[in-house]
Structure formats: structure tokens, C-alpha cells
């Protein structure tokens, strides 16, 4: 038996919100509108630039707007694209992406069930809070369901640093062992939360487990795995 859980903390992107589906729609639609190739290879290229430049932003090597401009310049293959034109290019993608955002189908039933058993809910995200609040609105997820929404600017350090998770536990008034953390990233979310002392679930919606290298599997020892959110309320009594 686990310690009784008093709070469930969620990641947002790709956990509650289908950001991946919206990103695919946004970038391929934008490329198509520009008359550029818009196939799977281009989507994968966009994802590589996303990982590269957002990673540099998270490391403090690029500013928020510069990482967006860097993605636009790389994807357009125009290295000297002006800041204004890079912003315009990125916004063409971003408007399509945000218009396609939606919550996963299991989100509302799971939040309803958790509310019914009286656990406190929170969100911990490595993105700026204002952008994440806008996503909640677009996806019709009620912000008031959550006792906290901690964005990057409100955390002492970004995930996977343990202080991100410990700060969230303090915000909802529980000890780490009384909290369950749910996220889609095996290391940044699941392993890191577990190592910070929380009970942890890796949400593997796309069956990635068989593709993980051995060093990542080792880090996941002690982490629970599920393919959707619907089992979480029943797991709290296990």
C-alpha cells in the first residue's frame, strides 16, 4: 500500500493538452500555406529545432522571443531573416497551432473523478504561466479546478530540478510523499518527481516504453506507467 495521496500534480503540455497534435496541424498547415513542402520529414525537422532552441531557452542561452525567431529562421532556411519577419513567420505557425489545441478526451472525466474523492489538484509546467493559462481557456479546462498553476517564472528552477516539485508540494500544502505527479516525459517529469520524493506516474500515451534506452529505464525504477489518465483515481487507493 502507498501512503495516502492528498494532492495530484500534473504537467500540462502533452499530459492534459494535446500540444503534439496541435503542433503538427500548425506547422504543416503553415508550410502548406507558404507553398513549401509539408510532409512528415518537415514535421520532424520542426521537432528537432523545437528541442534544440527551446532547450537553449530553458538553459538561459536564448531569450523567449529569440528561441522563436531561431526556429523560424532555421525552418524557413533564411538565416538572415529580420526579427520582424521571423516574428511574422512564427506567428503564422502559432495562430494555426493554438487554434487546434484541445484537451485529451480523458482529462475532464479524470478531473471530475479526482474532485469527487477530494484530492487537491495542481499544475507544474516549464512554460510561462500566461501562455499556459491561455491553453487552459482554449481547451475548456477550468483553471479554478487547480489550487496552483506554477509556470517557469514561479519556480525556483525548471523541471527536472527537485525544487520544482517541492515548491508545488508546498503550494498545495502537502509533504512530497503525499503527492502524486503525472507527466508525459520519462525523465523531466516522472523520474525527476520520483527522485524528489513524490509518488510518480509516467503517462506514456504513445507507447514509447519499448524505445527507451537502458539508462532511462533504470531511472524509471519505482515509477508507475499508464497509457491514459482514467486509471489514476483508482490507483490512489492502491
Pick from 235, 233, 236, 237: which is nearest to 108 by CA? 233
State residue 142's pLDDT score.
97
Instruction: List, edge to edge, every strand of the sheet that includes 224-226.
Output: 148-150, 120-124, 7-10, 179-183, 199-203, 224-226
Q: Where are the beta strands (DSSP E) in the chain?
A: 7-10, 120-124, 148-150, 179-183, 199-203, 224-226
The CATH number of residue 47's host domain is: 1.10.150
- Does one domain contain both 109 and 189? yes
> How deeply is 28 buried, as exposed, middle or buried, from its count of CB atoms within 10 A (0-12, 13-18, 19+)?
buried
- Does one domain contain both 62 and 176? no
Provide the 8-state DSSP code for 236: T
Domain boundary among 50, 66, 99: 99
The CATH number of residue 126's host domain is: 3.40.50.1000
The three three-digit cell numbers of residue 22, written as one number: 496541435
Query: For the chain, what is the largest distance between any 2 Cα atoms, rounded to a whole number of angstroms?
Result: 59
Domain boundary among 52, 77, 99: 99
State residue 237's pLDDT score.
76
Total residue count of the chain as it appears in this document: 238
The answer to whether residue 210 sits within a structural domain is yes
For the cut 70, the answer to whether the pLDDT of residue 238 exceeds it is no
- Does one domain contain both 108 and 81? no
Residues 42-54 have pLDDT tens digits of 999 999 999 999 9
State residue 157's pLDDT score.
94
- Does one domain contain both 154 and 75? no
Is residue 27 within 8 Å of residue 42, measured between CB atoms?
yes
- Does one domain contain both 167 and 50? no
Domain of 231, in residue numbers: 7-18+102-235
For the cut 60, the answer to whether the pLDDT of residue 5 exceeds it is yes
- Does one domain contain both 134 and 60? no
**Could you tell me the pTM of the whole model?**
0.93
Residues 78-104 have pLDDT tens digits of 999 999 999 999 999 999 999 999 999
The answer to whether residue 227 sits within a structural domain is yes
Measured CA to CA, the distance from residue 238 to residue 235 in angstroms comes to 5
Cβ–Cβ contacts within 10 Å for residue 9, how many?
28
Is residue 193 within 8 Å of residue 181, measured between CB atoms?
yes
Q: What is the mean pLDDT of the chain?
A: 96
Domain boundary among 99, 116, 147: 99
User: Which residues touch 144 (CB under 8 Å, ≥6 apart)?
Assistant: none
- Does one domain contain both 72 and 108? no
Q: How many domains does the chain have?
A: 2
For the cut 70, the answer to whether the pLDDT of residue 1 exceeds it is no
Amino acid at each position: 500500500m502507498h501512503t495516502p495521496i492528498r494532492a495530484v500534480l500534473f504537467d500540462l503540455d502533452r499530459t492534459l493538452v494535446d500540444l503534439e497534435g496541435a503542433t503538427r496541424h500548425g506547422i504543416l498547415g503553415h508550410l502548406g500555406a507558404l507553398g513549401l513542402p509539408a510532409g512528415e520529414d518537415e514535421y520532424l525537422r520542426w521537432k528537432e529545432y523545437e528541442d534544440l532552441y527551446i532547450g537553449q531557452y530553458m538553459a538561459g542561452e536564448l531569450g523567449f522571443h529569440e528561441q522563436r525567431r531561431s526556429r523560424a529562421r532555421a525552418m524557413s532556411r533564411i538565416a538572415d531573416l529580420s526579427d520582424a519577419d521571423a516574428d511574422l513567420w512564427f506567428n503564422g505557425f502559432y495562430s494555426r497551432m493554438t487554434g487546434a489545441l484541445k484537451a485529451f478526451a480523458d482529462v475532464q472525466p479524470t478531473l471530475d473523478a479526482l474532485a469527487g474523492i477530494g484530492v487537491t489538484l495542481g499544475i507544474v509546467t516549464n512554460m510561462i504561466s500566461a501562455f499556459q493559462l491561455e491553453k487552459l481557456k482554449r481547451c475548456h479546462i477550468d483553471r479554478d479546478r487547480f489550487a496552483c498553476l506554477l509556470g517557469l517564472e514561479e519556480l525556483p528552477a525548471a523541471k527536472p530540478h527537485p525544487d520544482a516539485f517541492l515548491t508545488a508540494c508546498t503550494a498545495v500544502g502537502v509533504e512530497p510523499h503525499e503527492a502524486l505527479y503525472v507527466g508525459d516525459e520519462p525523465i523531466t517529469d516522472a523520474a525527476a518527481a520520483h527522485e524528489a520524493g513524490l509518488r510518480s506516474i509516467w503517462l506514456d500515451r504513445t507507447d514509447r516504453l519499448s524505445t527507451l534506452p537502458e539508462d532511462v529505464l533504470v531511472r524509471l525504477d519505482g515509477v508507475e506507467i499508464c497509457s491514459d489518465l482514467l486509471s489514476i483515481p483508482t490507483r490512489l487507493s492502491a
